[in-house]
């Protein structure tokens, strides 16, 4: 009788699992899950006596490439402030992306005027038309 109940239990379990569509149980990435995020969350750069260009790449994760405008905000660290026009300049706080999987934010690091100074910037993705904002929404730039 024990053997019969084990066989019956196994048949019951097989019947239950064979009636399920396993593809429905696997999470799928859908267009509503599309997001924008930085590829790196921290970048350090040595300031020199010359102007430098720093490109901060961000990715757009979608099923199909879309056109969107990504908005950014720049803030500095209160302990290690960086001044716009004195330590750095930024080309644009709004970047239009046409049918691409990503782009980059361009920051100009101005010539170093103090050898001991360290400056910290936070570039934050604030919005992107038709996309969610991913977990890597802030990129910290350390200028040494």
| Domain definitions of the chain by residue range | 28-143
User: β-pairing, 138-143 with 42-45?
Assistant: parallel
Angstrom distance (rounded) from CA 102 to CA 37: 9
* pTM for this predicted structure: 0.74
The domain defined by 28-143 folds into: Immunoglobulin-like (2.60.40)
Angstrom distance (rounded) from CA 65 to CA 62: 6
Look at residues 77, 92, 93 and name the one whose alpha carbon lies nearest to residue 126.
93
pLDDT band at 136 (very low <50, low <70, confident <90, very high): very high
DSSP single-letter state for residue 33 = G
User: β-pairing, 138-143 with 119-128?
Assistant: antiparallel
Considering just the CA atoms, what is the radius of gyration of the chain in Å? Answer: 25
- Among residues of the chain, what percentage have pLDDT more than 70? 85
Mean of per-residue pLDDT scores for the chain: 83
Q: 63 is written with which tokens?
A: 């099923």
Of the segments 37-41, 47-51, 65-69, 87-91, which one has the largest average pLDDT value?
Answer: 37-41
Angstrom distance (rounded) from CA 63 to CA 130: 13
Backbone angles phi, psi at 97, to 5 degrees: -120, 120
């Amino acid at each position: 009788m024990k053997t019969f109940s084990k066989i019956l239990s196994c048949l019951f379990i097989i019947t239950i699992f064979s009636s399920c569509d396993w593809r429905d149980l696997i999470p799928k990435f859908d267009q509503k899950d599309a997001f924008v995020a930085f590829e790196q969350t921290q970048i350090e750069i040595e300031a020199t006596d010359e102007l430098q260009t720093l490109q901060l790449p961000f990715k757009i994760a979608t099923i199909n490439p879309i056109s969107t405008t990504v908005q950014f905000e720049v803030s500095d660290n209160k302990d290690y402030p960086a001044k716009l026009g004195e330590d750095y300049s930024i080309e644009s706080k709004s970047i239009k992306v046409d049918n691409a999987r990503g782009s980059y934010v361009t920051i100009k690091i101005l010539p170093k005027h103090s050898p001991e100074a360290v400056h910290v910037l936070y570039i934050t993705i604030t919005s992107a038309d038709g996309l969610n904002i991913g977990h890597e929404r802030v990129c910290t730039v350390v200028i040494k």
